Structures are given as structure tokens and as C-alpha cells.
Amino acid sequence: MNLDHHKNSVQENGFTIINNIFSEEEIEKIGQVIQNIDTSKETLRKSEDLFAIRQFLKEIPEIPDLIFNENIKKIITEIFGEKYVVVKSIYFDKPEKSNWYVAYHQDLTISVDRKASLPGFGPWTTKQNQFAVQPPLEILENIYTIRIHLDDTNENNGALKVVPKSHSKGICRPENIDWSIETETICKVEKGGIMIMKPLLLHGSNRTTNGKKRRVIHIEFSDRQLPEELNWSEKLS
């Protein structure tokens, strides 16, 4: 697996897609573990349109061993760097009839263990006893996200749409996208494939129209130390 092309694509365009990272069998095992979880936990969000588990790797101890196969380890080391660790993980399930539509946005917050008054950190939000904050730009610019696809995903079941290269423009408001010069790319990913993206890449997704579900595991990685008053709320090396 030669990753130079993918490394360049992430730096230049803000994203890349690599298929065939997980075998059919590996995806099956991950799916089985998810089906058997205790759905009464606080970190879960369940509605007709979306089923989500925050702190996914922490909540389900069997999952990390299934996810960090040789392919993923190689990708983290070669594309991100030796010192990168997991700092956030979420599982999303958009069911077959989901009308869940996500407008263009950037991922601007990190999850931390407490609230602290620090220069450059803010605004703050709290969801289900979890603290999220917008950190200084250099922390955001250093994060990489891996999205593992447990189903085939295309424009008919809510594949991500992105604005290539938008990750290199700092924090930008989606309503200021100039469509006369920007383009939109739909990120089709096969079951068992992954998408790597930078959080500042403008991205969104449309409603599902083909009656096929879309399950995605979203994992963020950083190599940065936070100020000593704060810790990442979910850190796995």
C-alpha cells in the first residue's frame, strides 16, 4: 500500500479516500459488537434519523482491537506521524429512512475533560456531561479525522460532500462560499473503506434517498499537548 499519493491529497485537498482497508469479515465483527451494546448509556443519542455513540472507543472496549488493524496503523504512522493519538471517536448510524441533512460546516471543537478559562479557547458547549471547546487554530489545523465506512456510501445515502482545499483557509463561514470559484465533491466510499479528512474542510451531507443505511465510525487524531489545565476527554495511544 503506497500512501504517498494519499498523504499529498490530504495536505493539498483536505481529504482522501482509501478503499479495501477492512475485510468483509472485519466489518462483520465490528457490526456484531455494535449490535450487542447496552443502549441505555448516557453517551448514546437515538432518534428515527440518527443513532450515535460518543466516546465510542472508550465505551466499547472490544472495538479498538477490531479497528486498529495493520492497514490503519500504517496509515496513521505514514500519513499523520509517529506521535498521533486518538482524541475523539463517534459512531453514527443514519438509518434507511433517515431525513438527516447536514449543512456545510467545519469541525471546530475538541472534546476535553473540564471547563477552564484559557486564552484562545472558546466558545464552550456541554452535551451529555461532555465539554467541547473551540481551541486555537493551530490545534485544529493539526488534527486528522478517519471515517471508517461499514456500508457502501454514495450521493443517495448521505455521502459527505466537501469543498476541496477549503481546509487551508482558516475558519470560514459556509454562507460565504463563492460557488463561482469553488467546486463540490461527493465522497463515495466503499464498505470497508475509509475517508481521511482535515476538520477545517467544509463538509456536509444530503438526506438518504435510496433506502440504504449508512454506518460510519469517526475518529480524530492529534499530536498536540493541551495546556496543563485541560486534558483530551478521550485519549488512546
What are the boundaries of each domain within the chain?
4-222
Closest to 99 measured CA to CA, from 66, 50, 55, 44: 50
Question: What pLDDT shows up at residue 94?
Answer: 77
**Residue 47 pLDDT:** 63
> CA 28 → CA 56, 72, 167, 186, distances in Å?
17, 17, 33, 26
Q: CA 69, CA 74: separation in Å to the nearest integer?
A: 9
Q: What is the pLDDT of residue 1?
A: 84
| Whole-number pLDDT of residue 96 | 67
- For the chain, give the mean pLDDT: 92
pLDDT of the residue at 142: 97
Percentage of the chain modeled with pLDDT above 90: 76
Model pTM above 0.85: yes
4-222 belongs to which homologous superfamily? q2cbj1_9rhob like domain (2.60.120.620)
Express each pLDDT in 124-149 by its tens digit: 999 767 899 999 999 999 999 999 99
d(CA 208, CA 210): 6
Least confident of 11-15, 151-155, 156-160: 156-160
**Residue 129 or residue 182, greater confidence:** 182
Q: Could you tell me if 24 and 192 are in contact, meaning their C-beta atoms sit under 8 angstroms apart?
A: yes
What is the chain's percent helix, strand, coil content, to nearest 5?
A: 25, 30, 50
Question: Does the pLDDT of residue 203 top 70, yes or no?
Answer: yes
Q: What is the pLDDT of residue 66?
A: 97
Q: What's the pLDDT at 97?
A: 67
- Whether residue 195 contacts residue 66, with contact meaning beta carbons closer than 8 Å, is answered with no
